[in-house]
Amino acid sequence: MTIFLTASAAALAITVLLLGGLLLARRSRGSERLEGMVHDLAAALERAERESRRAHMLGELALSLELDDVVARTLEAARLLPGVDAARVHIATGSGEVVAADGLTAEDEPAPALSATPDEPKVVRLSLAHDGETTTGDAAGVLREGLVVPLTNGEDHVGHLGAYSRAAGGLEHARADLEELAQRAAPILDNARRFREARQLADLDALTGLHNQRFFHETLAREVARARRYKRSLALIVLDLDDFKLINDRIGHLAGDSVLAETAERVRGAVRTADIACRVGGDEFAVILPESTLLEADQLYERISSAVSSQPVGQGGLIRLSAGVTELRPDDDALALFRRADEALYRAKRAGKATVVAVAALPPEDVERLSDSAPG
The residues carrying an active-site annotation are 283
Q: What single string gives the DSSP state of each residue in 6-22?
A: -HHHHHHHHHHHHHHHH
Q: How far apart are CA 2 and CA 118, in angstroms?
A: 37
Q: How far apart are CA 204 and CA 225, in angstroms?
A: 23
Comparing CA positions, the residue from 174, 204, 153, 139 lying closest to residue 47 is: 174
The residues pairing with 130 across neighbouring beta strands, listed in sequence order, are 133
HSE of 325, CA atoms in CB hemisphere, 13 A:
26
Class of residue 151 by CB neighbours under 10 A (exposed 0-12, middle 13-18, buried 19+): buried
Q: Which residues of 281-301 are buried (b: 16+ CB within 10 A; e: fewer)?
A: eebbbbbbbbebbbebbbebb
| Single-letter code of the amino acid located at 261 | A
Comparing CA positions, the residue from 296, 283, 285 lying closest to residue 326 is: 296
Contact 192, 65 (CB under 8 A): yes
Comparing CA positions, the residue from 71, 91, 65 lying closest to residue 181 is: 71
Q: Rounded to a whole number, what is the distance in angstroms from the first to the last CA of the chain?
A: 75
The residues pairing with 245 across neighbouring beta strands, listed in sequence order, are none
